[in-house]
Amino acid sequence: MFQKGGMHAAAVCVFLFGASVQASAFSLLSQSMPEVAPGEIVPVVVFGKNSRRSVEEFAAQQKLNAAELRTRFAASGLVECGEAHGAGQLTLANDIITTAAHVFFDERGVPRAKTCYFALENHGKETRVPIDLGSIVAGSIDPYAVAAVHDWAVARLVHPIDGIAPYNLADAPAPNMPIEFVARGHIDWGDGRKLSMEKCSLHDQLSVGSEGTREFSFDCETGDGASGGALVMAPDKPAIGAILVGWRSNKPFRSAPFSRMHYNFAVTIEGSFKKAVVAAASKVVVAK
């Protein structure tokens, strides 16, 4: 995620605003964490006890079937651009992904790579499909230079991924709404590829974008590299209503209670963001 999200803590987009740090949740795979004493830096925003769970752990905790959960949330994957990655998910169609704009564009507003891929686990095997970079519709192609509420993107894969059900779109999010954060990419979790699941809540509405998107704080734990991951509002369907964009903290790299000075934040799939998803999913793919 980006400077308004959770990228690799040592990589990019760590800005100082007074005593607080705002960062993205996007991970640069080529860079490692600085050499520090064990426990000194935690590349994840935690609000006390880390409540992220694997599919199996989450299923056991919630008394659900792990195999069904894995199938239900198979649409969550990674967006890989060169030596960097973020999170993304198939949305409305099995060739359309949603993610954060900073996953595609760096702090200078330059594309991160000439070729990007979407990777997910398809019935136990990794599937990796190129992304049509010419199809990207984004709130901004220079996301580090604008407010976080514009940090969203929709893109088309060069071909559909068969056998995976895409996520639906949820109704409009609201403060204090219960959610599940479902994403791959956390750099401290399963080599940055394992699916993480957690129940938590949206909190305050922080801002509204000119295109109709909104920014909310929320209290699920997030790791650098999970930018663009799904905030699921209707887990049984499942349907997503927002994507992770970043984190802000006056105690970066330390576990601390959720507060107005230590939180993660997301951008809702509303307004122009929602219209872009619906428009992309409605296009007919013509066989060549």
Give the confidence band of 25 by pLDDT, cuts at 50, 70, 90: low
In a domain, 112, yes or no: yes
108, 88, 106, 105: which is closest to 97 by C-alpha?
88
Query: Is the residue at 9 inside a domain?
Result: no
111 domain residue, yes or no = yes
Instruction: Give residue 16's pLDDT.
Output: 25
Closest C-alpha to 247, from 232, 259, 234: 259
pLDDT band at 23 (very low <50, low <70, confident <90, very high): low
Instruction: Answer yes or no: is 56 within a domain.
Output: no
Query: Average pLDDT of the chain?
Result: 83
Distance CA 44, CA 39 (A): 12
Q: Tens of pLDDT along 141-179?
A: 999 999 999 999 999 999 999 999 999 999 999 999 999
Q: For residue 47, how far is the Cα from the chain centroid?
A: 18
For residue 163, what pLDDT is reported? 92
State how many domains the chain has. Answer: 1
Contacts of residue 149, Cβ cutoff 8 Å, sequence gap at least 6: 139, 207, 208, 209, 213, 214, 215, 267
pLDDT tens column, 79-113? 999 989 999 999 999 999 999 999 999 999 999 99
Q: Is 190 helix (H, G, I), strand (E, B) or coil?
A: helix
Residue 93 counted as domain residue: yes
pLDDT of residue 217: 95
Q: What is the CATH number of the domain that holds 93?
A: 2.40.10.10
Instruction: Give this prediction's pTM.
Output: 0.86
**Domain interval for residue 136:** 69-167+274-282
pLDDT digits (tens, 9 = 90+) for 194-221: 899 999 999 999 999 999 999 999 999 8
Q: Which single residue is written with the structure tokens 């960062």?
A: 23
pLDDT digit string (tens) for 38-88?
344 445 677 777 888 888 988 898 899 999 989 999 999 999 999 899 999
